[in-house]
């Protein structure tokens, strides 16, 4: 079973209403400001998203059954996708969070493929975040 | 460039994100003209069969098609031995296994350069680990050329020198004639990775004098999955087959096997028949225009783009001399490369970002990656101007 939280569904529709890819990228770049920033001083090998062309770091914290997703990236594109994930995960339990599929990035017309590869920072980031949620996050 | 040449590439008619495709990722792979697509389609439609065995008509046509590729390679590059491989990477690995394992012993030195593609580093690191071979790396100087003093000093006791013809990151063509002469004087064989070289200038392999030269079809308008290793006579006879199987044997008994005497002994298994036929078509097609004149046009174009980018405060890595390849690697001081590539893609421009499989070079340059625009024979001045205008627009809005 997969699902899109309401806030994410609204974002998908907003992106789908914009025909020009460049405009969609501009919208995405603005969403980079939505992340709960993981300060550079806390970037470690454990937070690094592997296979990204740029530096990208994530940390998932779970406290009292609530998620907190901290992230940051050199690329606005990657951090924008982190911003979308931040909005999507807000207020969700870990059990709900892992039901969000990665397809939203493609549905929003932001990525050409979701195939994991060394150039697909988003997919690597998504997989890392979901794995950390499944493992209960950082204590 | 004639309009007719560009029109022979059906893919260049397509639009990407609503804009005409401007394909500037040619150092990664080039597009294919209609004659190459037709040749491969014709083979599968009319002549598909396995090679070298059966006597039926189709088998004869397939064999003739496959072997015509070898004949064409020998003729174009003036080589006596042309082993058909899956590409440059396999060709280099073939040298490591077939020549290296037969020749190199513990304590022998192999000279590499920091400019090499990973494909010309990793096979030697693997062999070094297995055999206790010493690897020496020739540094790259701040002007993007090899440190030739360091090279000269690295030759003492070296058995092999591996050097890239033209850097896939910088487009810089190395002083190969000097490198080959010095290496031979020191008693070392020379392997040239010409993947980025031969698409821009043909090479007379015999006169060139390198012992091995590796390259791929797909960077010169041929299919993916096929390439070649040219080997000088004398050196060829010192290579031992490492991949066993069909097509490479003369006889097989339960006591043992004997091998084909020629290139076939290094081509075990059913080869890339359609790809060989496609490559022959591409090589013939490349004779339909003046490659030297095209190269001169492209390097002018690349040099112009480099200057325009520099004027925008962008750092360009490379020198764009007359013998270099039309590759423009660059970094904007604040704009992230990945973001830039996505913004360019939104307007139909295809460029590459990342480390380009040359991390030692990028480490030397103190960077982790670049944006790379690489031009080929179908690219036009208008496309280059459009590219520069698009970069200006992106820098203005996003930097």
Check pLDDT > 60 for residue B186. Answer: yes
Q: What's the pLDDT score for residue B78? A: 98
* Under 8 Å between Cβ of A92 and A67: yes
Burial of B17 (0-12, 13-18, 19+ CB in 10 A): middle
Spell out which residues of chain B touch residue A74, defining contact as CB-CB under 8 Å: 336, 338
Check pLDDT > 60 for residue A118. Answer: no
User: Does A76 contact B at CB distance below 8 Å?
Assistant: yes
Nearest chain B Cα distance for residue A66, angstroms: 32
Check pLDDT > 70 for residue B200. Answer: yes
Contact between B345 and A21 using a beta-carbon 8 Å cutoff: yes
CA distance B232 to B323: 24
Q: Which residue has the higher pLDDT, A84 or A122?
A: A84
Eight-state DSSP code of residue B173: B
Check pLDDT > 80 for residue A22. Answer: yes
Q: Which of A59-73, B74-88, B376-390 has the lowest mean pLDDT?
A: A59-73
Q: What's the pLDDT score for residue A99? A: 92
Check pLDDT > 80 for residue A113. Answer: no
Check pLDDT > 60 for residue B2. Answer: no
> In which band, very low, low, confident or very high, does the pLDDT at A115 lie, cut at 50, 70 and 90?
low
Check pLDDT > 80 for residue A1. Answer: no
Interface test with B, best of A54, A112, A125 (most B CBs within 10 A): A54
Is B221 among the catalytic positions?
no
Check pLDDT > 90 for residue B120. Answer: yes
Residue A51: closest CA among chain B residues belongs to which residue? B354
Residue pLDDT, tens place only, B231-247 = 999 999 999 998 888 88
Q: What's the pLDDT score for residue B208? A: 96
Q: What's the pLDDT score for residue B29? A: 98
Interface test with A, best of B333, B335, B336 (most A CBs within 10 A): B336
Residue A28: closest CA among chain B residues belongs to which residue? B339
> In which band, very low, low, confident or very high, does the pLDDT at A29 lie, cut at 50, 70 and 90?
very high
Contact between A21 and B346 using a beta-carbon 8 Å cutoff: yes
Average pLDDT value for residue range B12-25: 97
User: Does B369 contact A at CB distance below 8 Å?
Assistant: yes
> In which band, very low, low, confident or very high, does the pLDDT at B28 lie, cut at 50, 70 and 90?
very high
Q: What CATH code is assigned to B3-31+290-398?
A: 3.90.1150.10
Of B269, B169, B285, which is closest to residue B217 (Cα–Cα)?
B285
Q: Report the run of H or E that residue B57 belongs to, with start and end.
A: helix B57-77
Q: What architecture (CATH level 2) is domain A6-134?
A: Alpha-Beta Complex (3.90)
Q: Which of A49-58, A78-87, B128-137 has the lowest mean pLDDT?
A: A49-58
Check pLDDT > 70 for residue A137. Answer: no
Check pLDDT > 80 for residue B263. Answer: yes
CA distance B94 to B235: 13
Of B184, B177, B140, which is closest to residue B161 (Cα–Cα)?
B184
* Under 8 Å between Cβ of B210 and B191: yes
User: Does B379 contact A at CB distance below 8 Å?
Assistant: no
User: Does A121 contact B at CB distance below 8 Å?
Assistant: yes
Tell me the fold of B37-287.
3.40.640
Residue pLDDT, tens place only, B363-385 = 899 888 899 999 999 999 999 99
Contact between A25 and B346 using a beta-carbon 8 Å cutoff: yes
Contact between B354 and A53 using a beta-carbon 8 Å cutoff: yes
Q: Where are the domains of chain A?
A: 6-134
Residue B397: closest CA among chain A residues belongs to which residue? A26
Average pLDDT value for residue range A57-65: 89
Give, in order, the Cα–Cα distances in Å from B355 to each of B34, B165, B326: 32, 19, 18
Spell out which residues of chain B touch residue A21, defining contact as CB-CB under 8 Å: 17-18, 345-346
Catalytically annotated residue among B69, B162, B221, B357: B357
Nearest-CB residue to B336 (from A20, A22, A75)? A75
pTM for this predicted structure: 0.93
Check pLDDT > 60 for residue A72. Answer: yes
Interface test with A, best of B16, B338, B367 (most A CBs within 10 A): B338
Q: What's the pLDDT score for residue A119? A: 57
**Full DSSP string of B79-146:** -SEEEEESSHHHHHHHIIIIIIHHH--TT-EEEEETT--GGGTHHHHHHHHHHT-EEEEE-B-TTSSB
pLDDT, averaged across chain B: 95
Q: What's the pLDDT score for residue B250? A: 86
- The torsion region of residue B259 among left (phi > 0), alpha (psi -120 to 50) and beta comes to beta
β-pair type (A56-63, A66-73): antiparallel
Residue pLDDT, tens place only, B156-183 = 999 999 999 999 999 999 999 999 999 9
Check pLDDT > 90 for residue B248. Answer: no
Check pLDDT > 80 for residue A105. Answer: yes
Average pLDDT value for residue range B69-76: 98
Contact between A77 and B353 using a beta-carbon 8 Å cutoff: no
Q: What's the pLDDT score for residue A116? A: 56
Neighbours of A131 (CB within 10 A): 11
The three-class DSSP label of residue B182 is helix
Q: What's the pLDDT score for residue A138? A: 58
Contact between B338 and A53 using a beta-carbon 8 Å cutoff: yes
- The torsion region of residue B313 among left (phi > 0), alpha (psi -120 to 50) and beta comes to left
Check pLDDT > 60 for residue B199. Answer: yes
Q: Where are the domains of chain B?
A: 3-31+290-398, 37-287
pLDDT above 90 covers a percentage of chain B that reads 88
Residue pLDDT, tens place only, A32-42 = 999 999 999 99
Give, in order, the Cα–Cα distances in Å from B265 to each of B51, B54, B78, B257: 14, 19, 21, 12
Q: What is the 3-state secondary structure (H, E, C) of chain A?
A: CCCCCHHHHHHHHHHHCCCCHHHHHHHHHHHHHHCEECCHHHCCCCCECCCCCCCEEEEEEEECCEEEEEEEECCHHHHHHHHHHHHHHCCCCHHHHCCCCCCHHHHCCCCCCCCCCCCCHHHHHHHHHHHHHHCCCEC
Residue pLDDT, tens place only, B280-311 = 999 999 999 999 999 999 999 999 999 999 99
The three-class DSSP label of residue B395 is helix
Check pLDDT > 80 for residue B259. Answer: yes
The three-class DSSP label of residue B308 is helix
Place of tokens 């015509």: B68
Q: What's the pLDDT score for residue A106? A: 86
Average pLDDT value for residue range B343-368: 90
User: Does B347 contact A at CB distance below 8 Å?
Assistant: yes
Check pLDDT > 80 for residue A87. Answer: yes
> In which band, very low, low, confident or very high, does the pLDDT at A117 lie, cut at 50, 70 and 90?
low
């Amino acid at each position: 079973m997969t699902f899109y939280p309401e806030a994410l569904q609204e974002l998908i529709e907003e992106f789908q209403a914009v025909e020009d890819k460049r405009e969609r990228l501009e919208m995405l770049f603005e969403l980079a400001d939505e992340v709960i920033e993981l300060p550079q001083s806390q970037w470690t090998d454990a937070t690094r998203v592997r296979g990204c062309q740029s530096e990208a770091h994530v940390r998932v914290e779970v406290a009292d059954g609530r998620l907190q997703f901290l992230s940051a990236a050199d690329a606005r594109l990657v951090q924008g996708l982190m911003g979308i994930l931040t909005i999507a995960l807000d207020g969700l339990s870990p059990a709900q969070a892992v039901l969000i599929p990665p397809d939203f990035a493609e549905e929003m017309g932001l990525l050409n493929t979701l195939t994991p590869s060394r150039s697909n920072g988003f997919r690597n980031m998504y997989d890392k975040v979901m794995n950390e949620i499944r493992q209960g996050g950082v204590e | 460039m004639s309009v007719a040449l560009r029109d022979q590439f059906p893919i260049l008619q397509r639009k990407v994100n609503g804009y005409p495709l401007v394909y500037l990722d040619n150092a990664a792979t080039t597009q294919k003209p209609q004659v190459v697509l037709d040749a491969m389609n014709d083979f599968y439609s009319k002549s598909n069969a396995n090679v070298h065995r059966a006597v039926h008509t189709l088998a004869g046509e397939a064999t003739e098609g496959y072997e015509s590729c070898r004949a064409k390679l020998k003729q174009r590059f003036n080589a006596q031995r042309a082993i058909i491989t899956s590409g440059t990477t396999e060709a280099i690995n073939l040298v490591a296994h077939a020549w290296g394992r037969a020749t190199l012993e513990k304590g022998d030195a192999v000279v590499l350069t920091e400019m090499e593609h990973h494909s010309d580093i990793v096979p030697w690191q693997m062999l070094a680990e297995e055999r206790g071979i010493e690897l020496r790396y020739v540094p790259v100087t701040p002007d993007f050329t090899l440190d030739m003093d360091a090279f000269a000093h690295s030759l003492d006791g070296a058995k092999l020198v591996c050097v890239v013809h033209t850097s896939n990151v910088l487009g810089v063509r190395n002083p190969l004639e000097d490198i080959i002469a010095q290496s031979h004087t020191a008693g070392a064989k020379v392997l040239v990775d010409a993947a980025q070289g031969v698409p821009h200038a043909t090479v007379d392999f015999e006169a060139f004098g390198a012992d091995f030269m590796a390259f791929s079809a797909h960077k010169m308008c041929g299919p993916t999955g096929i390439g070649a290793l040219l080997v000088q006579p004398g050196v060829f006879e010192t290579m031992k087959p490492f991949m066993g199987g069909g097509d490479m044997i003369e006889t097989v008994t339960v006591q043992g096997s004997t091998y084909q005497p020629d290139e076939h002994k290094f081509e075990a298994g059913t080869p890339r028949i359609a790809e060989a036929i496609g490559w022959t078509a591409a090589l013939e097609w490349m004779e339909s225009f003046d490659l030297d004149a095209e190269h001169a046009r492209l390097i002018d174009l690349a040099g112009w783009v480099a200057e325009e980018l520099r004027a925008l405060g962008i750092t360009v890595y490379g020198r764009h001399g007359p013998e270099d390849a039309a590759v423009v690697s660059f970094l904007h001081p604040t704009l992230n490369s990945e973001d830039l590539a996505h913004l360019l893609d939104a307007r139909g421009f295809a460029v590459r970002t990342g480390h380009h499989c040359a991390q030692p070079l990028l480490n030397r340059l103190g960077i982790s990656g670049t944006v790379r625009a690489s031009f080929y024979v179908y690219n036009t001045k208008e496309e280059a101007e459009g590219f520069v205008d698009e970069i200006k627009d992106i820098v203005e809005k996003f930097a």
